[in-house]
A = this chain, B = another copy of it.
Amino acid sequence: MTTADRPYHHGELPEALIAAGLRLSRAGGSAALTLRAVTREAGVSATAAYRHFTDRDHLMRDTARRTRRALADTMLETIAELGTDLPPDAQAVQRLRGVGLGYIRFALDEPGWFDLAFSMPDDPSAAPSDRPGPFELLMDSLDAMVATGVLAPERRNGAEWACWGSVHGFADLVARGPLRDQERPVVDQLGRNVVESVIAGVVAGSLDGVRLRPDGSC
């Protein structure tokens, strides 16, 4: 055909497809990221995407990685807003707080991107990013807590999963679960509770610190 309006070759198709994917998923989540919708949006035939992505999953994974980068940005913004002029130990805790609150804020502000971000398992064979991702930010804050003495070293192991799970689970409740259409102030307050709880839980490690033995008896 080639109506001479658009050149036959796009030139920047991979980037254009990902950009279209970001637009679509922002509004409609991972389900809206359709191969045909994305190519339509880019003004290209449906099968053109196969020259740059092996299949739909490939495009989704690459697009999801971008949304995770946006999540990391939100975390960093949240950390900055919380303030940075604290003594090192308190600053380390503050960073963990920012990681958690930023995660929840992202899920609330960008539910479509949040859905996409974790609907795809990240393949470990991907090129490493220059900037730290959400998970690296979490690890760094926990390491800093150990380094400054706030977190006992023997409690560091596995702490990332307790933190990530807590915040991710709550964000999921808010984005897709029973807390879906709660008022924003209510959700914000609950989110603060969750973050404070998990920080306390990770630091305390078990009920030992609060008058209970490990088996649950008092």
Interface residues of A (CB under 8 A from B): 86-87, 89-91, 93-94, 97, 118, 121-122, 135, 150, 158-159, 161-162, 164-173, 176-180, 189-190, 193-194, 196-207, 209-210, 212, 214-218
- How many chain copies does the complex carry? 2
Q: Are A216 and B94 in contact (CB under 8 A)?
A: yes
A164 to B165, CA, bound (A): 10
Q: How far is the CB of A74 from chain B (nearest CB, A)?
A: 18
A198 to B164, CA, bound (A): 12
Best-surrounded residue of A86, A135, A197 (most CB of chain B within 10 A):
A197
Best-surrounded residue of A167, A171, A189, A217 (most CB of chain B within 10 A):
A217
Q: Are B218 and A90 in contact (CB under 8 A)?
A: yes
A165 in complex: contacting residue of B173, B206, B209, CB < 8 Å: B173
Q: Which residues from B are CB-within-8-Å of A177? A: 118, 121, 168
Given A176-B121, A203-B207; A218-B161 close (CB under 8 Å): no
A17 to B178, CA, bound (A): 26
A204 to B90, CA, bound (A): 19
Q: Which residues from B are CB-within-8-Å of A172? A: 118, 165, 168-169, 172
A196 to B207, CA, bound (A): 7
Q: Which residues from B are CB-within-8-Å of A179? A: 161
